[in-house]
Structure 1
Amino acid sequence: SLSIYFNKSITIAEKLQNEKFSIPEAIVTRWNSQFLTVSKVVDIPNTLLNDLLNEQKKTELLLSTKDLAVLREFISIFTLFAEATTRTQAEQSISISLVGPSILAIYYDLENESRICKHTKPLCHALMTSLLARFGGFLLNLEIPVDDHVKHRNTFNLFSDDIFLVASFLDGQFRLRWIIQSALPLDTKDRLCEKIKNLVALWAFQLIGCNTDNQDGNVTQAEVTTSTVDNVLLCTKDICDGGGLTPKRKSLFSYCEAPQTESKKLRVDAMNEIKEEIMLFLKDPRYETSLIFDKKNHFPYLHRLALRVLCVPATSAPAERIFSKSGLLMTPHRSRLSTDTLSKLTFVKCNVTLIC
């Protein structure tokens, strides 16, 4: 009500502008715009706000001390939500790596807010319930306990994919810091750090398989597991020791076949190189998102993996904006555009910065 009235009243709008304040009108379809409106209202000194309302005889809009306390708690609760909404909807920057650190930070922030809030505890509990229902699968991967009744929600496993762990590691600003500096127990942090490093190594190793033995690219994640890598290491050890091998069947043109020992040795060497890259990547003093791309010659295996993983958008917002731009092109004056023409015009409009 305040924002609507203030935007309609020229007198109040001018007085606020003279004091370097403004209250943007909230957009119903964008919750973070409502958060911004409330933030701007709280930023205005209460005496100034109430004086302006008294002058206009709008006493029903006056904010009491309790009202301000409730609004401040509201802002404190939703601050991280608003930041996550804005950052994960970016178009020209990496966003998938923000998902894991954002969910973990919001989870512990809600736990903290539920302890210190006086007026908005029910809101905190409702948000926590929703968070567990939507992101419970991811939190379970971080060894955070989740009630059994929540696990039956159809949205529980939407974010249980390991890509959210791998993507955050490949982002130079996060790597393992979002785990190490979190409120997780120390032993849990150690296990998660090892788990993430092993996942990254396996995914990078899988890409080597795609580029060598499987040129068609039809290699699934399930085909490369920890046991697969262990088997490679054990087989190579047996070869070096000269034991554990069955006699090779004779065949024509056996001299044309590539020796298995060399192939397996290359795989073991590649895994060792990947693990060394991971250690060097963790020790690099730069904390920038683009680190793995700026130093792609130093981290060739991780760079190849980053090209696959970090191109995934965190939300559907970039795709939705494309439809919005198409809607602006298809106006009543241009109602006879063919599907092909509309598609081409949309492509040009969305990539005009790259074309010019």
Structure 2
Amino acid sequence: MSVREWRQLKELVTILGPFAQATDQTQRDKVVTISMLAPSVVGLHKHAVVMNNAGRYLKKLSAALRDSLARRFAGIFDYMHMELHMEDIAVTNKLFGHELYIIAAVMDPRHLTQWLLEDDEELELKIQYKEPLEAAADVTNEVNVPVAADVEDAAGEPVFKLPRLFDCQQEENIPVTTSNPNTVLTISGQFTTYLELARSTPMAARDPLVFWHRKREILFKLYPLAQKVLSVPASSAAVEMIFSHGGILMRPHRTSMSDAVLENLIFCKCNRLQGLV
């Protein structure tokens, strides 16, 4: 490989690295995944814009990925008033525009509101129990990041750090200050308490399933909402795996197998892989 090809390859890895992370995070089947969607889209959009501004060889690829995100997740972009960057493309079918994706991200103690490009206190106050989340305020517009590289090498080429998708997930360890027990009796009070409890918990202990199970008595009004939104899978990867197992079990020499037997075999096989039987 020539020096130019090697630099192009390094820039390609830098561009595609966060996209690989997002794929791995949203296709898992044993953890909460729905809360990964909105933070992933926001993080990938920011990353694509940064690489489009700072990249040297693959600017068109970064721009294409940026526009593809805006087209595929136009609902999230519109919901959060984010810039679409597509002057010549009219997006009529705004997919992923349901408030579920925003609520799930906020209800996940790993994300809270850190994934927003700007702190939006109004968005926090709009979380309502069993009620749709109103349209978010103008959270972010154009991402004004001039460069993605910290230093340049001897030849003047930018040296990129390998990006992480969720760099916003940082330790806060903010102590709990809520002292009035009456504040947890209201929705807004419980939401404030939830934010304080989550931010005072170390990042390594913020597993959403464990966190909400332990805090279910304190956050008794938010707990049913968390159960409802966090149980939604972000992708069909788990369902596709079940179909794959069905294809393996239904061999040509087993054509006489009844539907009930096939269903029971698939049920036992998949649950055994999950350690449930």
Q: 1: distance between equivalents of 2:13 and 2:238?
A: 27
* 2:48 is the counterpart of 1:110: yes
**1:174 equivalent in structure 2:** 111
Aligned with residue 194 of structure 1, among 113, 118, 122: 122
AA at the equivalent of 1:289: D
Aligned with residue 76 of structure 2, among 126, 138, 141: 138
**1:257 equivalent in structure 2:** none
Q: How does 1:310-329 map to 2 (within 5 A)?
A: 310-329=230-249
**1:101 equivalent in structure 2:** 39
AA at the equivalent of 2:91: H
* 2:8 is the counterpart of 1:70: yes
Using structure 1 for the length normalisation, give the TM-score: 0.58
Using structure 2 for the length normalisation, give the TM-score: 0.74
Q: Secondary structure at the match of 1:177?
A: coil
Deviation at 1:289, TM superposition (A): 2.9
Cα RMSD (Å): 2.3
Higher helix share: 1
Deviation at 1:336, TM superposition (A): 2.1
AA at the equivalent of 2:226: A
The alpha-carbon distance between structure 1 residues 64 and 169, as it changes in their structure 2 partners (threshold 3 A), is same
Deviation at 1:64, TM superposition (A): 1.4
AA at the equivalent of 2:259: T
Deviation at 1:343, TM superposition (A): 1.1
Aligned with residue 26 of structure 2, among 54, 75, 88: 88
Q: 2: distance between equivalents of 1:271 and 1:137?
A: 33
* 2:91 is the counterpart of 1:152: yes
Deviation at 1:151, TM superposition (A): 4.1
AA at the equivalent of 2:40: S
- Computing the radius of gyration over CA atoms, which structure comes out larger, 1 or 2? 1
Please say if residues 170 and 292 of structure 1, whose CA atoms lie closer than 8 Å, have aligned partners that are also in contact: no
Please say if residues 168 and 175 of structure 1, whose CA atoms lie closer than 8 Å, have aligned partners that are also in contact: yes
Q: 2: distance between equivalents of 1:142 and 1:77?
A: 24
Q: Which has the higher contact order (CA 8 A, sep 6+)?
A: 2
AA at the equivalent of 1:304: P
Q: How does 1:213-228 map to 2 (within 5 A)?
A: none
The alpha-carbon distance between structure 1 residues 298 and 327, as it changes in their structure 2 partners (threshold 3 A), is same
Cα deviations by residue, 1:99-145 (Å, 9 ceiling, x for unpaired): 01100010011111011111111111111111111112201222212
Deviation at 1:324, TM superposition (A): 0.6
Gaps of 5+ in 2: 136-181
**2:252 equivalent in structure 1:** 332
The alpha-carbon distance between structure 1 residues 151 and 270, as it changes in their structure 2 partners (threshold 3 A), is farther
Q: How does 1:298-313 map to 2 (within 5 A)?
A: 298-313=218-233
- Tell me the matched-pair count: 222
Q: Secondary structure at the match of 1:122?
A: helix
AA at the equivalent of 1:319: V
Please say if residues 205 and 271 of structure 1, whose CA atoms lie closer than 8 Å, have aligned partners that are also in contact: no
Q: 2: distance between equivalents of 1:112 and 1:355?
A: 44
